[in-house]
Amino acid sequence: MSKTDPFLLEVLRYAFDTIAEEITLTIVRTAYSQIVRDSLDFSTALCDARGRTLAQGVCTPMHLGAFHDALRNMLAEVGGDVHPDDVFIMNDPYAAAGQHLPDIYVVQPIFFESVLRGWSATLAHHSDVGGIVAGSNALGAREIWQEGLRIPVLKLIDQGARNETLWKMIALNVRTPDMVMGDLQAQIAACAIGARGLVKLYERYGVDTLEQGMADLNAYALRLARAEISDIPDGTYRFTDHIDGIGDDPEPVILNVAVTIEGGHAVVDWTGSSDQIEGGINSTFPFTKACAYAAIRSLMQADVPNCHGFTEAIEVRAPEGSVVRPTSPGPCGARGITGYRMIDCLFGALAQAAPDRVTADGSGGSTLPTISGMHEGRMFVFCETAMGTWGASRANDGQEGVPHIGANQSNVPIEMIEQTYPLRIEHYGFEIDSGGAGRTRGGMALRREYRVLSDKALLNVRSDKRAFPPHGLDGGAPGKPSMNKILFGTSEAVLPVLLSEPVLLRKGEIFSHVMASGGGFGAAFERDPERVLQDVILEKVSIQGAARDYGVAIQRGDDEAYEINREETAALRANQNQHKGDLKCS
């Protein structure tokens, strides 16, 4: 039982949350790059002295469960060499329990009464860290050395003094030094804000009260998590999903999961997944664990604190040398796509146990386009995390224009892109008739088109779900597959979902990307005709699509308004039922 008064524990919980959010807001206000400032591809956490998370900022769930592994590894590396006004930096997956090289940890120890009491922690996806591809998401990399600058656990600031050698080394090895160094300084400023906030709590409540509260908060989160997992029927639930594969002749990558629920404990086992590949989509094990935590946490209905405690109810297993637990020197620069697919795969398994808590499959996480080149004598690297749409749930249609559950990120506003880069957004909107048909409809596909205004540029793309489109649930239709094209004049060229090497774009050419849409839930001919009518009015479904996919005949009335033809609708649906009967007899 908690030794902390429950009212005080709630006060401390939200105090920790507030500090984590202050760290987040500081980065938003001070970051230089759009991938951090506008796409929100970063995360923050407040941790105790042992590196256990007390609170997380509202950014990227796939990042956050990995903070403990990174800090635990860092503490083992540095031993007692931790002092006030130190700031540590690291990114390497194998030397520093990092996630991939663009994600750089910047963390600051928090001292009170000359004793280490906690950590103010940040992680940001930087616009570039070197390597063979601008943006450092080299899908075709064969080893991690090709992916960019590898940073072990080092001091960026040593007792208040900047490590100038390291600053110069980083600046020289990246394509966008102004943005990278600016974002690092934003992370440092944010860490200082977090440290100041925790010190104020120590001053107010004292060491014994606050640290007892930290322990009790983690224990409380663990109890709630176990109770939530206990609500899921015991058993082992399996699912297999795929990543399309890399390049012009892709070989599908298999993700195979078995989720075992026993009492208040969950085991996530990735045995049977593909071996690690010579391509940058291998997922480091801390990232694999974080994705499992994010998926299972999202199914919990109670207000479970987002601290380390809830993760102790979840055990993650993965074979070494696999795509979800690579060994050195396996490349992992584009491992984000694997993270999204692991969460989708987990939802596929958990839908068997808790269908009311899971949606049909969605767009599969962010597409990551990177367009780079020289313009007016300067190097530019544009990248964003283009989100997305969800699959349908039992009760609701899939949402559009929302991020994947694994990453609370955002599309960069058109105006910011066109103001900063030699690019023009020619189209940004949803595709009619794209949502997977069902009793509840999957979310619509998003299309975004970028015209190059510089003399030439290089395009790199991380996307997915063309060969294996988003699945439906309970008889719902799958979503529509994704598509990448280069448009030039009246001609077009289709690109793979995952480029093994960048493609040259010339001035005036357009990169067109259509994301996958969401899968449907339930039989489409059971959808309420009035809901189909509203979809037609809102231009989410065409008149032809309404008849074809839902058996609802829509026509224009005398006043030109859309209306349902009830007789024809009944005939269409009767024919569908007769067809089902014929199939059963045969």
- Whether 583 shows a pLDDT value over 50: the answer reads no
pLDDT for the residue numbered 557: 84
pLDDT for the residue numbered 63: 84
For strand 368-375 and strand 378-383, is the pairing parallel, antiparallel, or unpaired?
antiparallel
Among 80, 84, 83, 122, smallest CA distance to 104 is for 122
Determine the Cα–Cα distance for residues 57 and 482; give it in Å rounded to an integer: 31
Indicate the angle between helix axes 6-30 and 207-230, nearest 10 degrees: 90
Quote the radius of gyration of the chain (alpha carbons, Å). 25
Determine the Cα–Cα distance for residues 361 and 518; give it in Å rounded to an integer: 6
How large is the average pLDDT for residues 455-463? 96
Share of the chain above pLDDT 70, in %: 98
- pLDDT tens-place string over residues 364-391: 999 999 999 999 999 999 999 999 899 9
**The two structure tokens encoding residue 18:** 């507030």
Count of residues in the chain: 586
- Whether 64 shows a pLDDT value over 80: the answer reads no
Handedness of CA 575, 579, 582, 584 (dihedral sign): negative
Q: What is the pTM of this model?
A: 0.94
- Whether 577 shows a pLDDT value over 70: the answer reads no
- pLDDT tens-place string over residues 553-569: 999 988 889 999 999 99
Question: Which residues, in sequence order, are bridge partners of residue 580?
Answer: none
pLDDT for the residue numbered 153: 98
SS3 content of the chain, % helix, strand, coil (to 5): 35, 25, 40
- Whether 576 shows a pLDDT value over 90: the answer reads no
How large is the average pLDDT for residues 182-209? 98
- Whether 585 shows a pLDDT value over 80: the answer reads no
Q: Would you give the DSSP letter of residue 367?
A: B
